[in-house]
A = this chain, B = another copy of it.
Amino acid sequence: MSVGIRDVARAAGVSTATVSRALGRGPVSDALREQVEAAVRATGYRPNLSARRLRSQATQTIGLIVADIRNPFFTAVSRAVEDAAYQAGMRVILCNTDEDAEREALYLRLMQEERVTGVIFAPTRATAQAMRAGSLDFPVVLIDRSGPPGAHDSVVLDNAAASAALVDHLVAQGYARIGGVFGSTSSTAQERRAGYEAAMGRHGLEPAARACAPNALAAEAEAGRWLAEDGRPEALILSNGLMLMGAVRAARTLALPIPGALALAGFDNEPWTELLDPGLTVIEQPVAEIGAQAMSLLFDRLKSPDQPVRKVVLSGRTVLRGSTRKP
């Protein structure tokens, strides 16, 4: 019922090999190529990609495993990855782990079964540590998060510097009791926390960091608890855009005006952070660059498997807005 390459060959009066070559980049005379193209149009032939992948042993597929697709940061990175992939004639399989190690293992297994060419992956800390180089059949580029040095290529933000910039700014504005709520699952949140603590130390201030799941609900709960305590912080730093939203919610619930009673700063320059009044001070990540660099690292790795491992560190941009004004 479905039309196959044999039907096209018959219609064009050539062999299936010639049809295959005409559709690919094989050497075919112009005359036969035109006959084949006409036959393809006449029959409505569409190649079967499963067959092509099986036979050619090339899936032209890259896997993209992100930690939370609800996080616009990952949506934006995905778009950049997909643009670069399609430009190179590759498709991408997008998977979402919800920061869950089991689902990470599941999707990594799926990638093997799909025989992907390579994977771009934002792993949890646990998985990043456990994942040894060479244990998978394809190269892996870590994104947003890194693992043990030298294990995998990666592209990450200069997290410590970004956190420090936020602390420096808050201190310059006159804040001293600056708290931080950081995600509990990623190396990146750890680095942001370390950067925060180091910067606080440099200013002779006492760091006060807490951790929770890197989503809006958990951050709202955590920030809500903290802000209801005596000696609550007068400024709060959150380690991603979802958590920042949770903190805004918590402040609203407690009727704490921003920045009157609480200064707020965090990561990811999502459109809504500018829409609030006052806007939120954030670190903007070069999302398109992150995705493009990841694909580029992956292609380089495919070309030169034995090349030394590379880590690309990109700088964030500090976007100052009203939420951190002097009280």
Contacts and interface: CB of A to CB of B under 8 A. Distances in A.
Q: Size band of the A side of the interface?
A: 35 or more
A87 interface: no
Interface string A20-48: 00000000000000000000000000111
A59 B54 CA distance: 14
Contact of A54 (B54, B79, B113): B54
Contact of A49 (B79, B114, B245, B248): B114
A102 B124 CA distance: 38
Contact of A46 (B78, B79, B113, B276): B113
Contacts of A59: 50
A69 interface: yes
Contacts of A93: 93
Interface string A78-115: 11001000000001011010000000000001101111
Nearest to A61: B50
Contacts of A249: 275
A289 to B, nearest CB: 18
A79 B69 contact: yes
A113 B245 contact: no
A164 to B, nearest CB: 27
Contacts of A277: 276-277
Contact of A276 (B53, B75, B78, B276): B276
Contacts of A109: 46
B113 A48 contact: yes
A70 interface: yes
B47 A50 contact: no
Give how many copies assemble into the complex.
Answer: 2
Nearest to A216: B271
B46 A54 contact: no
Contacts of A54: 48, 50-51, 54
A137 interface: yes
Given A75-B75, A94-B94, A137-B2, A50 B115 contact: yes
Contacts of A78: 69
Nearest to A94: B94
A137 B1 CA distance: 10
Nearest to A79: B69
Contact of A115 (B49, B82, B276): B49
A136 to B, nearest CB: 11
Given A48-B115, A272-B272, 18 more contacts: A2-B137, A46-B109, A46-B112, A48-B113, A49-B115, A50-B50, A50-B53, A50-B54, A50-B114, A50-B115, A69-B78, A69-B79, A94-B94, A216-B271, A245-B271, A245-B275, A248-B275, A272-B275
9 contacts: A46-B109, A48-B115, A50-B53, A51-B54, A69-B79, A70-B75, A245-B272, A275-B276, A276-B277
- List 3 A-B pairs, minimum CB-CB distance, nearest first: A272-B272, A50-B53, A50-B54
